[in-house]
Amino acid sequence: MQTLVVYSSLTGNTKKVAEAIYEVFGEKAALFPVEMAPAPTDYDFVIVGFWVDKGTADKKAQEYLKTIQDKPVALFATLGAYPDSEHAASSLKNAAAFLDASNQLVGTFICQGKIDPKLIEQFKNMPGNHPHAATPERMERYKKAASHPDASDLEAAQAIFADIKNSLNRVAGQEKGEVTAS
């Protein structure tokens, strides 16, 4: 199973997760930043990572997602919000909507990623009623995000993608008529 891992990353958070996921697939995988990514056509499985921008995949990732057809696809992302929030779930869902219906979404992973300190400085200058104003609650969340992705995020990503890899290999084996031990 030839696997393609493509990621879009501005400040490196999503890149770190991409590298961890790539390790799971070893020599049968290729890893590319979205700016240099090949067409997905020649791969059996396509994994796309993005940073959450305004509640969905960033623009570059959106464009890449639209090019994929007839593939099993998995998505991963980093964001400033908490990974168990409604915002995280809807960001993944909004990103998945860029996929053509001929694809099959086989898994997702999302974790926090530190927010660019320059952005936080801008938030601090916003009026209190602005949706990004630096309220104590938001400052607390930014502080928590600052240590992510951490080692346990990377381990969690690897565990999820190891499961996905195993189930895709099982399906491929069954299609070839191989007997698999259960």
Ligand X SMILES: Cc1cc2nc3c(=O)[nH]c(=O)nc-3n(C[C@H](O)[C@H](O)[C@H](O)COP(=O)(O)O)c2cc1C
Interface residue with ligand X among 4, 5, 14, 40 (CB under 6 A) is 14
Using CB under 6 A as the binding rule, whether residue 89 contacts ligand X is answered as no
Comparison of 28 and 132: residue with beta carbon closer to ligand X:
132
Q: Which residue is nearest to ligand X (CB)?
A: 113
Please state whether 55 falls in left (phi above 0), alpha (psi between -120 and 50) or beta: left
Q: How far apart are CA 18 and CA 11, in angstroms?
A: 13
Q: What angle do CA 178, 43, 160 make, to 5 degrees?
A: 70
Q: How many CA within 13 A on the CB side of residue 73?
A: 26
Q: How far apart are CA 88 and CA 55, in angstroms?
A: 8
Stretch that binds ligand X, among 40-48, 66-74, 78-86, 102-110 (CB under 6 A): 78-86
Site residues (CB under 6 A) for ligand X, limited to 122-181: none
Using CB under 6 A as the binding rule, whether residue 55 contacts ligand X is answered as yes
Stretch that binds ligand X, among 22-30, 34-42, 93-101, 108-116 (CB under 6 A): 108-116
Q: How far apart are CA 27 and CA 175, in angstroms?
A: 23
Using CB under 6 A as the binding rule, whether residue 103 contacts ligand X is answered as no
Binding site for ligand X (CB under 6 A): 9-15, 51-55, 78-81, 87, 113, 115-116, 119
